[in-house]
């Protein structure tokens, strides 16, 4: 998914300065057809664990929520990488 962040690279929003928590939270029981932008916007600038539809879960640090997508930094096990996701591809999430 190609995504252009709503802010420039110079002086833009930076990833967290530390790794995410080591403990993965329990997955919420209720699965949805699509994640509501209003619900996940409460996780902006917070460590968030995402369970995608098909595939392993991952730590994410959202910095922008649009009508149909979320953008932020994904932890790859070593460092934070900027990425974006379609809200329909997220089964559930939990933030701290």
pTM: predicted TM-score of the whole model, two decimal places = 0.85
Residue 31: per-residue pLDDT: 62
Residues of the chain with pLDDT under 70: 1-11, 30-32
What would the CATH number be for the domain defined by 37-95?
Answer: 2.30.30
Residue 89: both structure tokens together: 């591809």
From residue 31, alpha-carbon distances to 66, 76, 93 in Å are 21, 25, 10
Contact 53, 90 (CB under 8 A): yes
What is the largest distance, in Å, between two alpha-carbon atoms of the chain? 40
pLDDT reported for residue 96 = 87
């Amino acid at each position: 998914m190609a995504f252009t962040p709503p802010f420039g690279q110079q002086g833009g929003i930076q990833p967290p300065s530390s790794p995410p928590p080591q403990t993965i939270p329990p997955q919420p029981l209720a699965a949805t057809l699509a994640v509501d932008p209003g619900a996940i916007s409460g996780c902006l600038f917070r460590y968030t664990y995402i369970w995608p539809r098909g595939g392993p879960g991952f730590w994410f640090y959202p910095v922008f929520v649009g009508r149909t997508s979320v953008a932020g930094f994904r932890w790859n096990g070593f460092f934070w990488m900027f990425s974006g996701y379609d809200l329909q591809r997220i089964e559930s999430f939990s933030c701290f």
